[in-house]
């Protein structure tokens, strides 16, 4: 490993570690309704929103009412976004005069952004108007992220409270997430990106001429604002088709650091917020440690594989001293691309600064495996935390079975209801990531979307549905998803991948809130020490990882072995 790469990775992890308690502590104050640094600035706006919308900010909801409010709010956003995309040719701010999206593409895109997936079966700068980008997509970048954060906070309250039927108020939690957390940081991020050269305007596209004399159209638009929130809210949809590999979207090494740092900033801090809310910061740091270990492992494997290069090209005399650079921006190289690919799929972000389709088989398997685990390695904003708690419940239950004691977490007994709910949430992952691709692999209209033959083609298909079900949004570039079949099926995968996990975890929050906490005794299994960290990592790999091992063997692992045997497809 090169010294400059070690320095890059160390700076990145150091920034996450430094900002985790700073932001996490402030978020705990925000959700508790306590005074904080932005109370005076946004407090009047918050109260105005409650009055205008008829929200009783002091009234709390049961988990079921919380879920109904969430679903109704998201359904309204889905219908509004679908209408904007279908009618964008009639709406203002359309300098390129782009037409309406097809019904199946508008359906897929609307579900994608409402579920915080931001999967894109189109090129943003050639398909969407400025109005659609700003009023449609950017708004959902805020509120879909706030939805995930609200659910994570409701679950933390459920674990912290005793003998109560309420877990908070969805509309209050969502409003506070946007006003006090997402909006201020996104504004700072947009200003920083504009400073680095990312466009932020409403100008018409610029017609230019290349050195060879060919005509070229340079896209403009309000890019910086959308890019800032897409990274911060782990949304990931690119303003430009090439995403963060585009020089307008990611022009400098500093912009690259800012964007990839934003991906994991809030997910990492939310883990600390969880520790504050359950009144035991050690619990938060234990989860943070698990996530950091898994992150480091994935980054090491991806980086090592990409730096090793492609042996087939090396045998032809191609210089591989800088690693596998196919499909990568030379400005970022193999190391910067590996860091981004690991971070974006640890979170449900999906933005890319290199084409994952061009990674080596093992390097490309790391992003795929991260999504198959449920993107719980820091994860999406909110979704990473409640996804990790799902594994925590199962780990504590298994530990209880091993020692013959009633399993407990934070003093609350883990019983059949909580385990059943977590298993229901967990089962949606292989259903969308294995069963649906298996069906699609034998449907002719589906197979025609796959670019490559052999195991790499299977990986393209697996990656698409893993990305959709995991609400990630990234893709292997060789897969053509813009067909009625895939737009519809991927849209359904995104929908169920979001809500079939989110609703059971809200039910867990309600179930745990109703219980009393038992005092800690000498027989209590500690959930903040080294032993629990090892147990939790083991459960994640055994339950989450081994489920997908046969698929990985047929895809990237088979391709890796074939590549080293000199076989191509």
pLDDT in tens, 333-368: 999 999 999 999 999 998 999 999 999 999 999 999
Crossing angle of helices 139-160/63-86, nearest 10°? 170
Query: How confident is the prediction for the chain on average, in pLDDT?
Result: 93
470 DSSP 8-state letter: T
In angstroms, the CA 313 to CA 320 distance is: 8
Q: What is the pLDDT of residue 80?
A: 97
Q: Is the pLDDT of residue 132 over 90?
A: yes
Bridge partners of residue 206, in order along the sequence: 218
Cα atoms in the Cβ-side hemisphere of radius 13 Å centred on 153: 29
520 DSSP 8-state letter: P
| 3-class DSSP state of 493 | helix
Tell me which range, 241-250, 274-283, 406-415, is most confidently predicted by mean pLDDT: 274-283
Percent of the chain whose pLDDT exceeds 70 = 100
Mean pLDDT to the nearest integer, 311-328: 84
Contact indicator for 234, 289 with CB cutoff of 8 Å: no
Q: Is the pLDDT of residue 120 over 90?
A: no
Q: Per residue in 441-453, pLDDT tens?
A: 999 988 889 988 8
Q: Is the pLDDT of residue 148 over 90?
A: yes
Long-range contacts of 182-188 (CB under 8 A, 24+ apart): 182/142, 182/145, 182/146, 182/229, 182/232, 182/233, 182/266, 183/42, 183/142, 184/38, 184/42, 185/232, 185/262, 185/265, 185/266, 186/142, 186/225, 186/228, 186/229, 186/232, 186/233, 187/228
Q: Is the pLDDT of residue 519 over 90?
A: no
Mean pLDDT to the nearest integer, 110-120: 93
In angstroms, the CA 114 to CA 311 distance is: 42
Per-residue confidence band for 477, with pLDDT thresholds at 50, 70 and 90:
confident
Count the helices and strands in the chain (H runs, E runs): 24, 4
Q: Per residue in 371-408, pLDDT tens?
A: 999 889 999 999 999 999 999 999 999 988 887 777 89
Per-residue confidence band for 292, with pLDDT thresholds at 50, 70 and 90:
very high
In angstroms, the CA 102 to CA 82 distance is: 10
Three-state SS annotation for 266-316: HHHHHHHHHHHHCCCHHHHHHHHHHHHHHHHHHHHHHHHHHHHCCHHHHHC
In angstroms, the CA 318 to CA 335 distance is: 19
CB atoms within 10 A of CB 101: 25
In angstroms, the CA 380 to CA 117 distance is: 10
**Which residue, chain included where needed, has tokens 């939690």?**
173
Mean pLDDT to the nearest integer, 11-15: 96
Between the alpha carbon of residue 321 and those of residues 302, 308, 317, 425, 565, the distances in Å are 16, 8, 11, 44, 21
Between the alpha carbon of residue 50 and those of residues 55, 462, 528, the distances in Å are 5, 44, 39
For 97: left if phi > 0, alpha if psi spans -120 to 50, otherwise beta; the answer is left
For 482: left if phi > 0, alpha if psi spans -120 to 50, otherwise beta; the answer is beta
Contact indicator for 302, 184 with CB cutoff of 8 Å: no
Q: What is the pLDDT of residue 499?
A: 96
Contact indicator for 221, 227 with CB cutoff of 8 Å: no
Q: What is the pLDDT of residue 393?
A: 95
CB atoms within 10 A of CB 34: 10
Q: Per residue in 54-97, pLDDT tens?
A: 999 999 999 999 999 999 999 999 999 999 999 999 999 998 89
* Exposure letters 135-167 (e unless 16+ CB within 10 A, then b): bbbbbbbbbbbbbbbbbbbbbbbbbbbeeeebb
Degrees to nearest 5, angle at CA 260 with 256 and 261: 110
Q: Per residue in 156-211, pLDDT tens?
A: 999 999 999 999 999 999 999 999 999 999 999 999 999 999 999 998 899 898 88
In angstroms, the CA 462 to CA 548 distance is: 10
Q: Per residue in 223-267, pLDDT tens?
A: 999 999 999 999 987 788 888 999 999 999 999 999 999 999 999
Between the alpha carbon of residue 303 and those of residues 6, 13, 213, 252, 453, the distances in Å are 11, 15, 39, 21, 26
* Exposure letters 447-460 (e unless 16+ CB within 10 A, then b): eebbebeebbbbbb
Tokens, residue 93: 């701010």
Q: What is the pLDDT of residue 122?
A: 86
Contact indicator for 108, 217 with CB cutoff of 8 Å: no
Q: Per residue in 185-198, pLDDT tens?
A: 999 999 999 999 99
Tokens, residue 548: 């997908």
- The CA radius of gyration of the chain, in Å to the nearest whole number, is 23
Tokens, residue 141: 């970048």
Q: Report which of 348, 396, 353 is spatially closest to residue 376, judged by C-alpha positions.
A: 348
- Residue that wins the pLDDT comparison between 516 and 317: 516
In angstroms, the CA 396 to CA 408 distance is: 7
Contact indicator for 107, 82 with CB cutoff of 8 Å: yes
Q: What is the pLDDT of residue 6?
A: 93
Per-residue confidence band for 31, with pLDDT thresholds at 50, 70 and 90:
very high
- The helix or strand, by DSSP H or E, that contains position 409, with its residue range, turns out to be strand 408-409
Between the alpha carbon of residue 187 and those of residues 169, 377, 533, the distances in Å are 26, 26, 36
* Exposure letters 49-74 (e unless 16+ CB within 10 A, then b): bbeeeebebeebbbbebbbebbeebb
Contact indicator for 221, 199 with CB cutoff of 8 Å: yes
Mean pLDDT to the nearest integer, 134-141: 93
């Amino acid at each position: 490993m090169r010294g400059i790469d070690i320095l890059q990775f160390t700076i990145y992890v150091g920034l996450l570690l430094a900002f985790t308690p700073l932001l996490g502590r402030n978020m705990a104050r925000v959700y508790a309704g306590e005074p904080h640094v932005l109370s005076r600035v946004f407090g009047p706006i918050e109260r105005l929103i409650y009055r205008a919308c008829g929200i009783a900010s002091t009234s709390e909801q049961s988990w079921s009412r919380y879920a109904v409010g969430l679903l109704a709010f998201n359904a309204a956003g889905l219908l509004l976004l679908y209408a904007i995309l279908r009618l964008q040719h009639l709406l203002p701010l359309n300098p390129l005069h782009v037409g309406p999206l097809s019904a199946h593409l508008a359906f897929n895109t609307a579900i994608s952004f409402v579920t915080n997936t931001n999967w894109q079966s189109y090129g943003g700068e050639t398909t969407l108007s400025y109005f659609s980008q700003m009023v449609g997509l950017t708004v959902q970048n805020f509120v879909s992220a706030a939805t995930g954060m609200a659910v994570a906070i409701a679950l933390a309250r459920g674990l912290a409270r005793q003998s109560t039927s309420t877990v908070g108020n969805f509309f209050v939690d969502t409003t506070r997430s946007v006003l006090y957390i997402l909006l201020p940081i996104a504004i700072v991020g947009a200003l920083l990106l504009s400073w680095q050269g990312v466009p932020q305007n409403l100008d018409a596209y610029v017609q230019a001429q290349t050195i060879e004399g060919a005509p070229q159209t340079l896209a403009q638009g309000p890019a910086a604002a959308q890019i800032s929130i897409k990274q911060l809210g782990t949304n990931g949809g690119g303003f430009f088709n090439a995403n963060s590999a585009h020089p307008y979207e990611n022009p400098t090494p500093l912009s690259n650091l800012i964007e990839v740092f934003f991906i994991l900033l809030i997910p990492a801090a939310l883990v600390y917020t969880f520790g504050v809310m359950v009144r035991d910061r050690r619990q938060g740091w234990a989860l943070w440690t698990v996530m950091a270990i898994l992150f480091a492992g994935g980054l090491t494997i991806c980086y090592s594989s990409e730096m090793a290069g492609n042996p087939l090209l090396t045998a032809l005399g191609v210089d591989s001293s800088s690693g596998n650079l196919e499909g990568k921006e030379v400005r970022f190289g193999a190391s910067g691309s590996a860091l981004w690919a690991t971070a974006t799929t640890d979170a449900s972000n999906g933005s890319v600064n290199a084409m994952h389709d061009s990674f080596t088989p093992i390097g490309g398997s790391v992003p795929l495996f991260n999504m198959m685990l449920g993107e719980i390695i820091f994860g999406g904003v909110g979704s990473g935390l409640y996804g990790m708690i799902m594994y925590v419940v199962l780990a504590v239950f298994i530990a209880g079975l091993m020692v013959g004691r009633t399993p407990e977490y934070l003093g609350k007994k883990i019983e059949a209801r909580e385990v059943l709910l977590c298993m229901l949430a967990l089962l949606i992952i292989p259903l969308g990531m294995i069963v649906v691709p298996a069906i699609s692999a034998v449907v002719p209209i589906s197979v025609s979307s796959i670019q490559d033959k052999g195991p790499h083609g299977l990986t393209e298909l697996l990656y698409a549905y893993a990305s959709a079900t995991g609400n990630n949004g990234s893709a292997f570039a060789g897969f053509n998803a813009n067909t009625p079949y895939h737009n519809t099926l991927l849209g359904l995968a995104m929908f169920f991948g979001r809500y079939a996990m989110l609703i059971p975890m809200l039910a867990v929050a309600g179930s745990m809130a109703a219980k009393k906490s038992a005092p800690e005794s000498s027989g209590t299994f500690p959930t903040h020490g080294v032993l629990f960290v090892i147990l939790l990592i083991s459960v994640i790999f055994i339950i989450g990882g081994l489920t997908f091992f046969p698929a990985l063997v047929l895809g990237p692992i088979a391709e890796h072995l074939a590549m080293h045997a000199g076989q191509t497809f």
